Amino acid sequence: MAILVDASTRLLVQGMTGRAGTFYTDQAMEYGTAVVAGVRPGKGGTKHFSLPVFENVREAVRETNANASLLFVPAAAAGKAMIEAIEAELPLVVCVTERVPTRDMMQVSAALAGSATSLVGPNSQGVLSPGKAKVGVMSTVDARPGRIGIVSRSASLTSEIVAQTSKAGLGQSTTVGIGADLIHGIGFVDCLRLFMDDPETEGIIVIGEIGGNEEEETADYLMSAPPAKPVVAYVAGRHAPRERRMGHAGAFTMLGGGDAAAKIRALADAGARIADNVDVLADTMRRALKDKAA
């Protein structure tokens, strides 16, 4: 089964004809993802990769039965593009665009309220169900079908953990990059619920980082609903300076909250197994699965 994307995913790409859209659409198709259309205002009626290009998302959905969208739209226009996809009632929208204006994301959040759409991102590497579908910009070199769900705020650490779990013989059911921006679509808790209901997922790895309150919300969820599957967590940024933005993620700690130590304590108190070092995440999960089976 996996979560969010699988062999039944019919993908349209907003901004498909641009440089990034062209490159990653080609990769998705080579991986076996069913890409059915592109959307690019001003180029409706043309073709790209022998696929139809439409003026707007609603028309593309109507003509192709697409059920997911991947956005390669510049930051200044990405908010409007996400809202267009939400209004077209697409079940899944994945936005990889970085630095979408906060005000625009507030409008996107309002559009999501009560909608039928699950938004992943922005500032996300996307969603990958190995051997089934790739909707994003992640590498697939080390990905292998398997039984571990991975949800992460960090694209680079996701690649590392995918390689680790594959080498350990665990593989992945699905990997989800929720995005590092403070205002985004689905979060850790949403993904945990999906993974808990997925029969192909036997364990879940959560990769957090400083800033925001995703990890604290995850701890609250685990406390309120003790998981039937082992959850292993790692929080990056233990040595990050306070009140300083770190890289492109926009994550930073403020005095009194958002620091790695507090997040780790909350997750540990809620029953998650904590990996002190990123290098031991797969081994920690393997031990957790063994203990669960005992």
Q: Is the pLDDT of residue 258 over 80?
A: no
Q: Is the pLDDT of residue 243 over 70?
A: no
Each residue of 194-221: pLDDT tens digit? 999 999 999 999 999 888 889 999 999 9
Neighbours of 78 (CB within 10 A): 26
Cα 173 from Cα 146, distance rounded (Å): 5
- The answer to whether residues 112 and 185 touch, using CB atoms and an 8 Å cutoff, is yes
The CATH number for 141-293, chosen from 3.40.50.10440, 3.60.15.10, 3.40.50.261, 3.30.70.100, is: 3.40.50.261
For the chain, percent of residues with pLDDT exceeding 90: 85
Q: Is the pLDDT of residue 66 over 80?
A: yes
The confidence band for 246, taking pLDDT boundaries of 50, 70 and 90, is: low
Q: Where are the domains of the chain?
A: 10-120, 141-293
Evaluate whether 10-120 and 141-293 have a shared fold.
yes
For 22, 35, 99, 269, the CA distances from 162, given in Å and listed in that order, are: 25, 24, 26, 26
Each residue of 44-62: pLDDT tens digit? 999 999 999 999 999 999 9
Residues noted as catalytic = 248
- Of 173-182, 240-249, 252-261, minimum mean pLDDT range: 240-249
The confidence band for 191, taking pLDDT boundaries of 50, 70 and 90, is: very high
For 14, 120, 144, the CA distances from 27, given in Å and listed in that order, are: 15, 19, 17
Q: Is the pLDDT of residue 255 over 50?
A: no
Q: What is the pLDDT of residue 256?
A: 47
Partners of 203 in the β-ladder: 148
CA atoms in the 13 A half-sphere facing the CB of 8:
7
* DSSP state letter for 7: T
Long-range Cβ contact pairs of 185-188 (< 8 A, separation 24 or more): 185/93, 185/95, 185/112, 185/118, 185/119, 185/120, 185/121, 186/118, 186/119, 186/120, 187/214, 187/217, 188/151, 188/214, 188/215, 188/217, 188/218, 188/221
Each residue of 15-29: pLDDT tens digit? 999 999 999 999 999
Angle between helices 155-167 and 281-293 (to 10 degrees): 50
10-120 has which fold?
Rossmann fold (3.40.50)
Each residue of 73-93: pLDDT tens digit? 999 999 999 999 999 999 999
Q: Minimal CA–CA distance to 150: which of 133, 167, 130, 131?
A: 130
